[in-house]
Structure 1
Amino acid sequence: MGLSTYLTPSGFLLPSIHSAPPFFVQQPNPATQAVVTEQWTRLVLSYARHRRLFFLRLDDAAAPTGEWAEVLHNERINRAPLPPHLALVLAHMVAKGLAAYEPPRQSRTVLLHWRLPEEWAEVLHDWAVGTGQLNTILTFFEIAEPEVESPLVGIPAPLLRAAIAVLARTGRAQAISIPDGEGVRFFSGRATK
């Protein structure tokens, strides 16, 4: 079987490197492994964005089914990365700020930053302005589970906190403790450089 792209059932186009058996194995040459790690990083982030997935677990590498199966497994060549290889990729992503261990102080699950917290901050502020939510206190639930479809649907609380922190530093939001948990108030201020 030659290297070729492949369209998954979810409509994601896997790159041709996904057809190469060495892609799924940790490489002994550090330079080669660095290239493979970068390829996996791009693949994981683009797939997560495509499917709106926020978390990746080491256990997903061993699961033949599930939301990550079509990217972590290649049934056409009978390959999947072993958990130590995936752990190496996840550690690289965390080191580059493209993911964060969640919960902290463990290394089996990451929160993926297919949009960086700074990018989520802009999406969040644009949503608040566009929906007329300025100077209104909103709960995290109201943001992540809005009545009307939004790009923020399903955003995990740690990522939402990070985005709000970015907005708070620029005077466009204020984190607020409320009886039901956490909330935020948005302001119209523009980002300062």
Structure 2
Amino acid sequence: MARLTPTGYLLPSIHSVPPFFTEQPNPTTQATLTEQWTRLILSYARHRRLFFIRIEDAETTGGDWDEVLRNEQINRRVMPAHLSSLLATLVAKNLAVYEPPKQTRSVLLFWRSPEEWGETLHEWATSTGQLNTILTFYEIEDPPVPSPLSGIPTALLRKAIASLSKTGRAQIIGAADGEGVRLFAGTGK
């Protein structure tokens, strides 16, 4: 039975099935459950605008991920080793990257691909009349008027800008007070 969380997210019915929370010995069954976990993690992250998931989220209560990683009604939770395996799958499928790099306990989720974020950035700059001006990363990540980019992590913003740079629609600018970007009109792709 599907269940609505306190934040208004509709959990899939599989979330009420105890085996969903443990790694399964049958590889086919595990592959199916991993695919369902992948979809659940990404859609929940999009719903809540969460950019990171960490192994610690399985180890502590009261966090942003409790609604997904636990089901108190059936007394189940995802164990850290299982979450680690799920994170590795997300990274292998290019749906996340380890962030910071060179560790495997925290990932930056791509519930929108870096290319989609690049398009969002370009549309925002176009609609707010900021093409051909230099914007600091801070102005994009924490604008005075909330935007679709509010709160975007710098690492993801860099990837979005890189995707626009490939099509000649963005250029990173070094400045005394940090980095910025200039966005150009263009058709993209």
- When normalised by structure 2's length, the TM-score is 0.99
Deviations 1:7-61 (A, max 9, x none): 0000000000000000000111111111111100000000000000000000101
Q: Could you give the per-residue CA deviations for residues 94-153 of structure 1, whole angstroms, max 9, x where no partner exists?
A: 010100000011000000000000100100000000000011001100001001110000
| 2:145 corresponds to | 148
Q: Pick from 66, 79, 85: which aligns with 2:63?
A: 66
- Three-state SS of the structure 1 residue aligned to 2:77 is coil
Percent of residue pairs bearing the same amino acid type: 66
In the alignment, which residue of structure 1 is the partner of 2:41? 44
What amino acid does structure 2 have at the position aligned with 1:187?
A: F
| Structure 2 Cα separation of the partners of residues 63 and 5 of structure 1 | 24
Shift of 1:169: 0.5
Q: Alignment partner of 1:11: what SS?
A: coil
Tell me the distance in 1 between the aligned counterparts of 2:67 and 2:11: 9
What is the match of residue 8 of structure 1?
A: 5
**Matches of 1:86 and 1:169 in 2, distance apart?**
34
- C-alpha displacement at 1:87, in angstroms? 0.7
2:162 corresponding residue in structure 1: 165
Aligned to 2:129: 132
> Is 1:78 the counterpart of 2:75 in the alignment?
yes
**CA–CA separation in structure 2 for the residues paired with 1:158 and 1:22:** 35
1:184 to 175, 181, 189: 181
CA drift at 1:162? 0.2
| Corresponding position of 2:120 | 123
Q: How many residues align?
A: 189
Gaps in structure 2 of 5+ consecutive residues: none
The amino acid that maps onto 2:55 is L
5+ residue gaps in structure 1?
none
Q: 2 CA distance for matches of 1:75 and 1:179?
A: 51
Q: Structure 1 counterpart of 2:14, which letter? A: I
Counterpart secondary structure, 2:149: coil
RMSD: 0.6
TM score, norm. by length of structure 1: 0.97
Q: Which residue of 2 aligns with 1:89?
A: 86
Check conservation: 1:137, 1:185, Cα contact below 8 A: yes
AA matched with 1:102: E
Contact kept, 8 Å, 1:64 with 1:73, in 2: the verdict is no
